[in-house]
Amino acid sequence: MQEAWTMPFAFCTREKFPWCEFAEDAETGPTTKMLQELAKAYNMVIISSILERDTTHGDTIWNTSVVISNHGRYMGKHRKNHIPRVGDFNESTYYMEGNTGHPVFETEFGKIAVNICYGRHHPQNWMMFGLNGAEIVFNPSATVGALSEPLWGIEARNAAIANSYFTVAINRVGTEEFPNEYTSGDGQKAHRAFGPFYGSSYVAAPNGVRTPGLSRHRDGLLIAELDLNMCRQVKDFWNFPMTQRLPLYAESFQRASQLDFKPQIIREQ
């Protein structure tokens, strides 16, 4: 499913009511319960991206993807790691960065992970799912043409190549209308419409090939057969894991994360 598939992508409005009412428990909420029945009936793994309400921790809200096994069991969840603060994507008004790390779910059909929407702009996010053994990484998204369409066909495809796994880029379609006008902070007049979301969902393989994209304007279903042997074959051919030098970058990231970090710049004396 696309990001927050049970609701309008209403975070542009900055209004809490009624949009927070869509939030539900990841494990016991009505959406998960409904999809558990379908997953079991049709022998399919389902990834459901919802607005989560965590009643155990003060009713906090998260942007969360739930993974349901083909046996109809709740396997776990992943919360969105990177929250946008760009354009009309005012999501930090509702929820903050996730705290579930980079989990990989070992299903009957392969090891899968979920990189939610804005996380696709962060190469390290893709990388960590690969280091944890993912063979397919899904990217449920809700993104609009004026903002990100030039990047859309590149990012998930590049991630598939760089990390030797399959990627699935998923986006909603259409323009959504809201009851009250809101402003975009760009000097333009207040408006009610958000969009258009441009669809164009596709699958990319670790060798760089990809499927055609779905429609920009209509809902669609993309069916693709993936040979997971290709993940290892590409690793053997390109040697990306062997040559990635994790200790070098771990040390560099550690230095860069310190408040007294100084960039390694050499200037003429």
CATH number of domain containing 30: 3.60.110.10
User: What 3-state DSSP class applies to 82?
Assistant: coil
Q: How far apart are CA 13 and CA 19, in angstroms?
A: 9
Mean of the pLDDT values across residues 218-223? Answer: 96
Rg of the Cα atoms in the chain: 20
Does a structural domain hold residue 263? no
Tokens representing 49?
A: 């991206």
Kindly report, residue by residue over 48-59, the tens digit of the pLDDT: 999 999 999 999
By C-alpha distance, which of 157, 62, 67 is closest to 104?
A: 67
Number of domains in the chain: 1
- Numbers of helices and strands, H then E, in the chain: 6, 10
pLDDT-derived band at 260, boundaries 50, 70, 90: very high
Check whether 213 has a pLDDT greater than 90: yes
Instruction: Work out the average pLDDT over 24-43.
Output: 98
- Asked whether residue 20 is assigned to any structural domain, the reply reads yes
pLDDT at 192 over 90: yes
Does the pLDDT value for residue 165 go beyond 90?
yes
Which amino acid is it at 253?
A: F
Q: Tell me, what's the pLDDT at 112?
A: 98
Q: Among 43-52, 130-139, 182-191, 238-247, which stretch is predicted with the lowest mean pLDDT?
A: 182-191
Residue 2 lies in a domain: no
pLDDT tens digits for 232-252? 999 999 999 999 999 999 999
6 domain-assigned: no
Percent of the chain whose predicted confidence (pLDDT) is above 70? 100
Catalytic residues: 3, 80, 117
| 172, part of any domain | yes
Q: Does residue 159 lie within any of the structural domains? A: yes
Q: What is the mean pLDDT of the chain?
A: 97
Residue 185 confidence (pLDDT) above 90: no
Q: Tell me the mean pLDDT in the region 196-220.
A: 97
Encode pLDDT of 115-134 as tens digits: 999 999 999 999 999 999 99
| Residue span of the structural domain in which 137 resides | 11-257
Q: Give me the helices (H) in 175-245, please.
A: 229-238, 240-243
Please give the pLDDT value at position 128: 98
Q: Please check whether residue 195 lies inside any domain of the structure.
A: yes
Specify the pLDDT at position 228.
Answer: 98
- The DSSP call for residue 262 is -
d(CA 175, CA 169): 19
Could you tell me the pLDDT band of residue 32, with boundaries at 50, 70 and 90? very high
Cβ atoms of residues 211 and 222 within 8 Å? yes
Confidence of residue 207 (pLDDT cuts 50, 70, 90): very high
In a domain, 102, yes or no: yes
**C-alpha angle with apex 3: 6 to 1, nearest 5 degrees?**
75
Q: Which long-range contacts (CB under 8 A, 24 or more apart) does 191-198 make?
A: 194/9, 194/10, 194/12, 194/88, 194/144, 195/144, 195/145, 196/144, 196/145, 197/9, 197/142, 197/143, 197/144, 197/145, 197/171, 197/172, 197/173, 198/143, 198/144, 198/145, 198/149, 198/152, 198/171, 198/173
Q: Is 222 exposed, middle or buried (0-12, 13-18, 19+ CB in 10 A)?
A: middle
Quick one: average pLDDT of 87-96?
95
